[in-house]
Structure 1
Amino acid sequence: MKKKVLLMGASGSGKTSMRSLIFSNNPASLTSRLGATIDVEQNHVRFLGDLILNLWDCGGQDAFMDSYLSIQQSTIFQHVGVMIYVFEVETRNMEKDLNYYKECLSALQRYSPNAAVFLLVHKMDLARGPKAETLARKTKELREASEGSEVTVFGTSIYDESLYNAWSRIVHILIPNASVLSRHLAKLAAVCSATEVVLFERTTFLVIATSTPPPPPTTASNIPSGPSSARTNGHLSATSHSDHETEVDSDPHKMAPTRYERTSELIKAFKYSCARVREEFHALEMELPEFTAVLDELTRNTYVLIVVHDPTIETAALRMNIRLARPKFEELQGDSLLG
């Protein structure tokens, strides 16, 4: 099953860097070596077994953008499942970028009216002034330019978990029946007496599903809290975002809202370190005073993370439950993709 994904935006906005970071397992420190995309680069990324993302990375130079909107319009915008449009947060050409975006949105609505649209305000690490205020202002500007079209806006950077958050949400909508996987993860959590169970795609370590529903994307939650954060029970708990204050305070385990994306980022960094010394990553166990965690292969295309706060539960029991759950999740994954 193929899903066409358009990756668009002005030249230099960071499209190719984010693609390299997410799908090629390259660290952020190496993205400066990447050159500009010429015309359209197509990549078929086998994301989840039989789910293939047909990723079209479209060069953002003016000549290419003009071509996409004229002689190549039907080729570019037909059969699209998702369009991701990237805006550099401190661009000096916002008016031109918005004009190209509006024309692309119009073409998308003509040829792929059911496509989802995600807008990434990228390079948030370079934002001048308070990041939450900057993102709120940009979000308002982009929604006005979208003229009533349904869009989802994220603030992202290759240097923190925000990029994984955005791409996890994007990929999640491409997986049919992902909610079924979530329900069965909740059952697995109950069997393990676990606080939470998270399912990751094997290669990218993007989040596929969790045993608890993720928080809706908001302008505040997509920006790292920076210095105004606190360490609690081994997790980074945001304290500067009023949207999460009630949620965090009412959580006895102080689970941070960005925990999924931070885990993705850390595991990919660890896998990269393993590869550098010619070792393979297989599984991970953590037994700390505050919690126990096991990360292990669940199916041939996924890893599962089980987090338990009950100190009486042994990691061997968690591994046994993972092993017993594998056949069912292989079946569910196949049904999800076929559905």
Structure 2
Amino acid sequence: MKIPGSFFEIDLVISKDNLLEFKITKNKEVKYSVNPMDFSEIEYDLQSFLEDNSVFLPKNRFKLVLESLEVLYLDLNKKLQKLKDRDANSPIISEEQEISFAQRVFQAQKVLLMGGEGKSSIYQVIFEGKLPHETNVIKHTRGIEKHEISFPSFSSAGSSKQKLLLWDFGSKKPTSDDYKNATLLLFVIDAYDVHNYELYRDQLHETIAMMKKHGSRPKFLGRNQSNIFCFIHKMDRFTNADDQFRSLVEYFKLNPKTKEKSYEIKFFATSIYDSSIYSAWAKIIEILMPKSSKLNQLSNKLKDDLGLYAAMIIEKSTGLPIASSKTLLDDNSLVGSTNRILLTTEKVLPEYELSSLDTLKIETANGILQLRIFEQIYVYVLILIYPPHERKISTPEGENILQEFISEMRKSI
């Protein structure tokens, strides 16, 4: 697809790694390519690329380009899902699949958590089940706090545990040894700490350089997949958050030494006071542990059998999405919202002399949300969203379908 008024062309394709690839070319030479996490990343990257290359598109033309890209994006995602479903049903596992699975499961992933204030709060909200206001009294981290987190991993080759080694850096300046075997970098910037923007930017790009020199990029990542992530945090404090975020991304993307923009950094606008922190975390963790195609198929069947809007499974302790039905809803936002509901509910249950939440049902005028919690090795949450008039789920037949689904899921975990 040609970009009007320029020599650039844009395209979306499925790469050899079976990943979606967004490319911008000029005279058949690739000028920019990335494996996007979602369509919003394509929109932002295209706009940024056009600005950097002094290509002006009127808003109506840019909108038309995006609409065409989105149609292609949705179509390719369907094709990718079919490929994954085919692999899930195939009894034959290729050598590449086995290697990729082994690299994910048997190698603990070391994540470096660096940057400004807010790192410990993020950790405690996501992994320790604290509500945002409960993190207000956290003491500043001194030295390095090392956390080991286990979560389930699935593939067509099987399922197993995976370990995440999260190193939270406080006042200690990391040495080259700290970067050894580090596979992911998560850099946090306090968006409200305006006076330290320059310092944050210097540290971010210095850290990336050290990560490249001493770290260990996971071999299972696609050619254009990144392992460098940046949370622009506390964005809830801005009234014009979207515009402010775009401006900050442009600022922090620029390497102050080379004067070049680093497109390998994946930026997220986050806050512990809404679902954005869970959404960002879910997108990152899915790179390490893609959702299971087999469980996706089971979720789709459950959705169709019971007439649901959506069905989804998350692992409770990490907020990790395990599987979901095909839906227009944003999986990652759904994960964040569900975690916030569960955290709040579990905090108040003791006041009613209740414990061990099993099922939670919320009825509204235009739909019903039902959460079912069940345990295996991990604690899982089954999220069901369905129309207010849909009663099959409440019948004995509907309950049997649900129990069969849970039974099938247990076999796959």
TM-score band by shorter chain is: 0.7 to 0.9
Give the corresponding residue for 2:317. Answer: 203
2:134 matched residue in structure 1: 30
> Could you tell me which of 171, 186, 206 is aligned with 1:84?
186
Distance verdict in 2 for CA 1:319–1:46, change over 3 Å: farther
Unpaired runs of 5+ in structure 1? 217-255, 334-339
Asked if structure 2 preserves the Cα contact closer than 8 Å seen for 1:285 and 1:315, the reply is: no
1:136 alignment partner in structure 2? 246
Q: How many residues align?
A: 282
Q: How many angstroms does 1:113 deviate by? A: 3.0
Q: Secondary structure at the match of 1:84?
A: strand
Instruction: State yes or no: 1:121 paired with 2:200.
Output: no
Structure showing greater Rg: 2
1:46-73: CA deviations, max 9, x gaps?
A: 33372322111111x3xx22xx1xxx31
Deviation at 1:330, TM superposition (A): 2.8
- Contact map agreement 1:120 1:154 (CA 8 A) in 2: yes
1:142 is matched by which residue type in structure 2? F
Letter of the structure 1 residue corresponding to residue 168 of structure 2: D
User: Counterpart in 1 of 2:295?
Assistant: 181
Once the 2 structures are TM-superposed, how far is the Cα of residue 176 of structure 1 from its aligned partner? Answer: 4.4
Question: What SS is found at the alignment partner of 2:288?
Answer: coil
Aligned equivalent of 1:190, options 304, 320, 337: 304
The verdict on how the C-alpha distance between 1:261 and 1:322 changes in structure 2, with shifts beyond 3 A counting, is: same
Contact 2:283 2:332 in 1 (8 A): no
Contact kept? 1:200, 1:304, Cα under 8 Å:
yes
String of CA shifts for 1:288-315, please: whole Å, max 9, x gaps: 4422333213552311111122523233
Could you tell me how far apart the structure 1 residues matched to 2:334 and 2:290 are?
Answer: 24
Is the CA contact (8 Å cut-off) linking 2:314 and 2:335 kept in structure 1? no
Distance in 1 of aligned mates of 2:291 and 2:135: 34
The aligned counterpart of 1:269 is 344
Q: What TM-score does the superposition give when structure 1 sets the normalisation length?
A: 0.74
Q: Contact 1:172–1:209 (CA<8 Å) still a contact in 2? A: no
- Aligned-residue identity in percent: 21
- Give, in angstroms, the shift of residue 82 of structure 1: 2.3
Q: Residue 188 of structure 1: CA displacement?
A: 2.4
- Mapped to 2, the partners of 1:56 and 1:78 lie a distance apart of 12
Is the contact made by 1:291 and 1:311 (CA closer than 8 Å) also made in structure 2?
A: no
| Contact 2:235/2:271 (<8 A) preserved | yes
1:37 to partner: Cα distance = 0.8
Q: Distance in 2 between matches of 1:258 and 1:157?
A: 13
TM-score, normalisation: structure 2: 0.62
Residues 193 and 308 of structure 1 are in contact (CA less than 8 Å); yes or no, is this contact kept in structure 2? yes
Q: How does 1:7-22 map to 2 (within 5 A)?
A: 7-10=113-116, 13-22=117-126
Q: Identify the residue that residue 245 of structure 1 maps to in structure 2.
A: none
Deviation at 1:179, TM superposition (A): 4.4
- Whether 1:283 and 2:385 are equivalent positions in the alignment is no
Shift of 1:133: 0.7
Q: Which residue of 1 aligns with 2:384?
A: 306
Unaligned 5+ runs, structure 2: 1-104, 153-159, 219-225
Q: Partners of 1:3 and 1:80 in 2: how far apart?
A: 7
Q: Following the alignment from structure 2 to structure 1, what is the Cα–Cα distance between the partners of residues 349 and 151?
A: 22
Assess if the C-alpha contact under 8 Å between 1:298 and 1:329 holds in 2: no
How many Å apart are 1:180 and its aligned residue? 4.3
Q: Which has the higher contact order (CA 8 A, sep 6+)?
A: 1
CA contact (8 A) 2:307 2:390 kept: no
Report if aligned partners of 1:3, 1:52 keep a CA contact under 8 Å in 2: yes
User: Would the alpha carbon gap of residues 98 and 264 (structure 1) be closer, same or farther in structure 2, given more than 3 Å must change?
Assistant: same
Alignment partners' CA distance in 1, 2:393 and 2:310: 16
Q: In structure 2, do the counterparts of structure 1 residues 295 and 315 end up closer, same or farther at CA, with 3 Å as the change threshold?
A: farther
Matches of 1:178 and 1:5, distance apart in 2 = 23
Q: Secondary structure at the match of 1:93?
A: helix
Residues 87 and 120 in structure 1, CA contact (< 8 A), matched pair in contact too:
yes
**8 Å contact 1:14–1:122 — kept in the other structure?**
yes
Is the Cα contact below 8 Å between 1:299 and 1:326 reproduced in 2? no
CA distance in 2, matches of 1:196, 1:29: 31
The residue that corresponds to 2:208 in the other structure is: 105
